[in-house]
Copies of this chain bind each other. A is one copy, B any other.
C-alpha cells in the first residue's frame, strides 16, 4: 500500500465528508457513505484520514469459535492488529451485525501505540467507555459487551470487503468526521482533495454573506457576479496572508 502524500492527507483532514460527497457525486459516485457507522469518540477539529487496511469477519461457528482460540497468537483478529501499517485505517467487515462487538480496548490501544490512524467497523465495540477516552479515532455501530467470538470469525485481511454497505479496496482512502465515514477511491484522492478545498473556500464566502442576511438567490448557488466577488475576496485573503 503506497502511502498518502502529506499534502493530500492534510487537505482531507480539514474538508468535511459532506464536501467530499458532493465532489464524488459530481463524478458519478453515489454509494460511498457507510450506513450505520458513527464516531464513538467526540470527533475533533481534524478528520480521521488514512488508507484502508481491511479485516474480514464471517459468522462464527460453535465448534471453531471457542474461547480457547485466543490462546493462539496467530488468531487472525489479533494478527491483523500488527501488520496494519502506521497511518492506515483498520476497516472491519462485520456484516452490519449490531449485536456483537468486533474488538475491545486492548487491541485499540495497541493500534494507537503503533500509530495506526484509526479503526472503522460496521459493528459495535466493547469496553466502549475506555475506548472513548483513548484519544484514538473509532467509528463503529455502537456498543456491545459481547465478545467477537459470539458472532464473528476473523478470516482474512488485505482483501476487498464491504463495510456499511460500501466497497472498500485495500488502500482506498477512509475519511471520517462527525457526519460519518466516506470511502474515497485511491486514484481520485488528489483531484478530489483539491476540488474539495476549493469548494469549501467558496462555501465559507457564501456562508458569510448568508449570515449577513443575503438572499439565497444569486448567492447559493452562486451566479456569475457572486463568483466574481468570491474570487476578489479570495485574492484579498491570500494577499493578507502574505502580508
Contacts and interface: CB of A to CB of B under 8 A. Distances in A.
Interface in A191-243: 203, 206-207, 210-211, 213, 215-218, 220-221, 223
Interface of A: 16-18, 20-22, 25-26, 28-33, 35, 38, 43, 58-64, 67, 70-73, 78, 81-82, 95-96, 98-99, 101, 104-107, 109-110, 113, 126-129, 142-147, 149-150, 153, 155-156, 159-162, 165-167, 177-180, 182, 185, 203, 206-207, 210-211, 213, 215-218, 220-221, 223
A28 B228 CA distance: 34
Contacts of A104: 18
Contacts of A129: 16, 43, 177-179
Contacts of A110: 210, 216, 220
Contact of A38 (B99, B143, B162, B216): B143
A47 to B, nearest CB: 11
A203 B43 CA distance: 27
A119 B109 CA distance: 33
How many copies of the shown chain assemble into the complex? 6
Given A156-B159, A167-B59, A215 B82 contact: yes
Contacts of A30: 30, 62, 146, 150
B207 A105 contact: yes
16 contacts: A18-B126, A22-B147, A28-B62, A30-B146, A33-B145, A71-B221, A72-B221, A73-B216, A78-B217, A101-B179, A109-B207, A109-B210, A110-B216, A126-B179, A143-B179, A145-B179
Contacts of A143: 38, 178-180
Contacts of A81: 216
Given A150-B30, A216-B81, A128 B179 contact: yes
Nearest to A38: B143
Given A25-B150, A28-B63, A105-B207, A18 B127 contact: yes
